[in-house]
Structure 1
């Protein structure tokens, strides 16, 4: 049973809680996805986690364009089911698609009860405020799986460390209950936050996206100086770290780029807390979310790497005797 304390009443805005994860830390894990991120990676697979507040997602494939929507959907009053916003009247959708531009409604946010009233479930809210107590109750539902597999809890996002107090409170609660903790981070947060979080973290999954700060800024919206400083700080204080490299063809897969990452990490190769490198090949699992949010997907073409590309990069890293794993979702 979760004991309620002031710390347990700390609230976190989350957009997903994923159970039975096998990729993001040891064993079977529950991942808590935090809302909000200070970066804007153009390939982000979780765009619903970028903003700190909640967002509306419209799944057009679920929408049934018929007049019953205008009669029964509470969002009719918010103009979801009306064509003319200034003079709303029920509209016959029998011969055309539901005329929704989801971008119009992100600023005029309906209630959860309104969203739940969508007769087809085509409208959803990404983002919900939960207390530490509420999260711990969900987490403890799978204690048997953690015990059997050596698993635990992973904090992800968005950028989980951007909600620093919430992240620390959740990690403290997990450690108090004997749970293994993993933090997945891009590292673009104040150093003092990283150092505080390290006290309650068994493993960091730390992203390295590009070593050239100008190119890093081009593709993610921020430079990499703070990120590299935080990475070095964690390595030096003995925090267990696995490096994660999202791999995109033509963006960060060149021999020059891979070499620069390897050279940066070489001084830490023999550190017992340096656990190796994970290569994360680009995938398209998040592309449809951009359309559901009314956002533009800014990656042009298909930057997926072939198997031979991955083999080349993996072999290069292995030639320096780094532990390396290709992680495919």
Structure 2
């Protein structure tokens, strides 16, 4: 079984309890305008270009078999429309000017990296988290990988947007110890405007998950000009509190570190120059969320 992986991050402290390895599965079924990992949205591998690191050696031109890279008037040129995402050019770029986002890996290859840190999971109460993108865009691979992880007695967690058919979650939940999911916007029309999809399925799946008895927690990315108002956060928090059983509710402040990734992909960045909510705003939203949800609320 093979899947397309964006990255495997070892020694993560942000994606669940303890020390974890996070496997970022490529592809997403939403298109959030503020996404700070735009390289994860498409399943296929994509070339990221950082021209400021280029020395103009021309090795990429010689490596490219599709004619996507060329030299004209002493300048290196790149035609993204011709690129097949094979990664040959990136493989020969020693300066890091070319980076291939996404690589096909087998379950066995991923497990080879995961098992290197088994002792850290055991000593810290950690484990492995499947994230994205959105892991449910490759459900067969995700399930096969979870089965292999559980066969080794390692704790598992999912980070998901909950916008997949419920039968996919039903097939994965027996293999999972913790589910961390997002509710990004409560207003249905605004959710569709900013993410490309409605939120009806997400809210229904959230209720089903809560009813399943599986351990879970809920997160909301706080995006300037989108959902950073007390009413919006309060409405989400009230819904989360009404689910019953959430470990806690977390507000994730806007992450501006994706700007360079948009440039490297030659993609439009609707939130260029945006910055996280100031501390006083974040604290006000936290208090509102705590009051409306009745849960512990963290700001991350």
> The TM-score by the shorter chain falls in which range?
over 0.9
Give how far 1:283 is off. 1.5
CA distance in 1, matches of 2:191, 2:61: 48
Maintained 8 Å contact 1:35/1:52: yes
Give how far 1:77 is off. 7.0
Alignment of 1:114-125 (within 5 A): 114-125=89-100
Maintained 8 Å contact 1:17/1:30: yes
Task: Give the structure 2 partner of residue 145 of structure 1.
Answer: 120
Task: Give the structure 1 partner of residue 184 of structure 2.
Answer: 209
Q: Which runs of 5+ in 2 are unaligned?
A: none
Task: Say yes or no: does 1:74 pair with 2:46.
Answer: no
Question: Residues 35-83 of structure 1: CA distance to partner in whole angstroms, max 9, x if unpaired?
Answer: 1111000111111110011111111121113xx3269742397252322
* Partner SS, residue 319 of structure 1: helix
CA distance in 2, matches of 1:264, 1:92: 59
CA distance in 2, matches of 1:71, 1:231: 47
Task: Give the structure 2 partner of residue 86 of structure 1.
Answer: none
Task: Give the structure 1 partner of residue 47 of structure 2.
Answer: 56
CA change 1:107–1:160 in 2 (3 A) is farther
CA distance in 1, matches of 2:198, 2:225: 19
Task: Give the structure 2 partner of residue 290 of structure 1.
Answer: 262
Give how far 1:106 is off. 4.8
Maintained 8 Å contact 2:26/2:41: yes
TM-score, scaled to structure 2: 0.94
TM-score, scaled to structure 1: 0.86
Question: Residues 116-136 of structure 1: CA distance to partner in whole angstroms, max 9, x if unpaired?
Answer: 123533112111111111111
Maintained 8 Å contact 1:55/1:106: no
Maintained 8 Å contact 1:21/1:28: yes
Q: 2:209 aligns with which of 223, 234, 244?
A: 234
Give how far 1:298 is off. 1.5
Q: How many correspondences in the alignment? A: 299
Maintained 8 Å contact 1:12/1:166: yes
Maintained 8 Å contact 1:73/1:118: no
Alignment of 1:146-161 (within 5 A): 146-161=121-136
Q: Which runs of 5+ in 1 are unaligned?
A: 1-9, 84-90
* Partner SS, residue 299 of structure 1: coil
RMSD, aligned CA: 1.9
Give how far 1:185 is off. 0.3
Question: Residues 218-245 of structure 1: CA distance to partner in whole angstroms, max 9, x if unpaired?
Answer: 1100000111111111001111111011
Task: Give the structure 1 partner of residue 74 of structure 2.
Answer: 92
Q: Which structure has the greater CA radius of gyration? A: 1
CA distance in 2, matches of 1:188, 1:291: 28
